[in-house]
Amino acid sequence: MSYSDTIPLHPSSQSDIDEIENLINSNPTSVLPARPPSPPRASIPISSTPPPPPAFIPSNLPPPAIHKPTPVPSVIPTVPAVAAPKPPLPPSHGSSSSGNIGVTGFGSAPNTLTEPVWDTVKRDLSRIVSNLKLVVFPNPYREDPGKALRDWDLWGPFFFIVFLGLTLSWSASVKKSEVFAVAFALLAAGAVILTLNVLLLGGHIIFFQSLSLLGYCLFPLDVGALICMLKDNVIIKLVVVAVTLAWSSWAAYPFMSTAVNPGRKALALYPVLLMYVSVGFLIIAID
Amino acid sequence: MDLNPPPGENYGHPRICLFHVLFKGAALAFYILSALFVNSFVIIFVVTVLLAALDFWVVKNVSGRILVGLRWWNEIDEDGESVWKFECLDQESMARINKKDSWLFWWTLYLTAVVWIFFAIFSLVRLQADYLLVVGVCLTLSIANIVGFTKCRKDAKKQLQAFATQTLATRFQSTIQSAFSVV
């Protein structure tokens, strides 16, 4: 071995050699001879387990977003390539970065293939509930609103819009189908247009995040529509709709206002208010 | 892509394949048959869109991962920017993907989009705005999945090429190095 060649022989060379042998025997993985380690084999995360749980290679190489805790620890065993140079491929954190659950429109992918579907469903449901709590209910510990709905999802808004449409349709005595179709189209198109409005005003908001937000803010109006469906008194309807309208607008205000610069706040908020008022009128006027 | 499933092997994940096809088929079947049996547009709308949404979720989260080893999602990073992520399995696992599974996956994905487009044209011609709305929503969901997975697949191919060339380069390098160190 070339290693012994580089050590000059000394009267106490035997002890040196013993020392080296001890080192090698005690820690076989970290002591390496002069030949370079074999990088590619060592850095493939799955080469050491049979049958390997397939590892996902991320397409970009971003550092894993640390703010999301992974529910399941990484299953990829760390290869004993401790002394190897930085591997040319993405490191074996492929699983943990895929474990930082990306947010998607209709749910996220679990980070292991063996995660049962029921777990995914539960996780998505809990995300809907937490988004709802974050957006609609008063929360003194709320962090910067622009970042609050980072885990946007569209399931919540979908359910709320459909529920509102159904409630209005049930309340209507005639033309039920038209009422539903109009309510759905109005809310969906309204959310898209409001988002475009913010973007055109030079605001910084992600399209889907804003859609998600506007959908979640419909929750109070859903409650109001349900109450109005059950109680037919006009006075009660007016009061309930006014309260829920104020609640919806209050919920939407922080997100919309932080998205644009202060001079244009009113321009961004007024259409939102207008849409919720028109939905409120729909609720009152249906009989 | 050929019209017949690749011969020889069986489906690798028959239950997943079933679910992959189930919701798509149910949405289409309900849409077609409901016009005959159900009088209320609201029910047609809600059930069809719900089935389409469930299908979207299943394809994106379950069958995409398991049948073809691809995954895509959207993240919002610390700066508030939206980032689309595409992931694929590593090369060894990709080689082991069941051919029949992936054939079924891609064919049904494209086929349902084509059928929805056909229905969209149909309802456009008949000037039925409300049915057009239903078809529009279902079409959007199908196309979203198609775009996501196609991008994923292209990315995967690029990745594999880069991996292969890099592996060759580093092996070449290490061979040279070991050759020199022996000398």
pLDDT at A38: 45
B-chain CB neighbours of A67 within 8 Å are 78
How many CB atoms sit inside 10 A of residue A203's CB?
20
For B8-61, the pLDDT digits (tens) are 677 778 888 888 888 999 999 999 888 788 878 888 899 999 999 999 988 988
Structure tokens at A127: 């995300």
Q: Which segments of chain A have a pLDDT < 70?
A: 1-116, 138-148
For A149-175, the pLDDT digits (tens) are 777 888 889 999 999 999 999 888 888
Give me the mean pLDDT over the B99-106 stretch: 85
Q: CA A51, CA A63: separation in Å to the nearest integer? A: 28
- Tell me the β-bridge partners of B70: B88
Nearest CA to A97 among A53, A65, A123? A65
Q: CA B116, CA B134: separation in Å to the nearest integer? A: 10
What's the start-to-end Cα distance of chain A, in Å?
93
pLDDT at A24: 63
In this predicted structure, the answer to whether residue B116 has a pLDDT above a threshold of 90 is yes
Contact present, B104 and B67 (Cβ < 8 Å): yes
Q: At what angle do helices B14-37 and B99-125 cross, to 10 degrees?
A: 20
| A88/B88 Cβ within 8 A | no
A-chain CB neighbours of B76 within 8 Å are 103, 150, 152, 206, 209
CA distance B90 to chain A (A): 6
Structure tokens at A16: 């040196």
A-chain CB neighbours of B133 within 8 Å are 181, 184-185
DSSP strands (E only) in chain A: 56-58
pLDDT at A276: 92
Length of chain B: 183
| A177/B53 Cβ within 8 A | no
Nearest CA to B13 among A114, A74, A106? A114
Contact present, B116 and B19 (Cβ < 8 Å): no
pLDDT at A252: 85
pLDDT at A66: 37
A-chain CB neighbours of B123 within 8 Å are none
Minimum mean pLDDT among B57-61, B83-87, B143-147: which range? B83-87
| B85/A102 Cβ within 8 A | yes
Strand order in the sheet with B82-89: A56-58, B82-89, B70-76
In this predicted structure, the answer to whether residue B120 has a pLDDT above a threshold of 90 is yes
Q: CA B103, CA B109: separation in Å to the nearest integer? A: 10
pLDDT at A27: 52
For A221-239, the pLDDT digits (tens) are 999 999 988 888 889 999 9
| B89/A54 Cβ within 8 A | yes
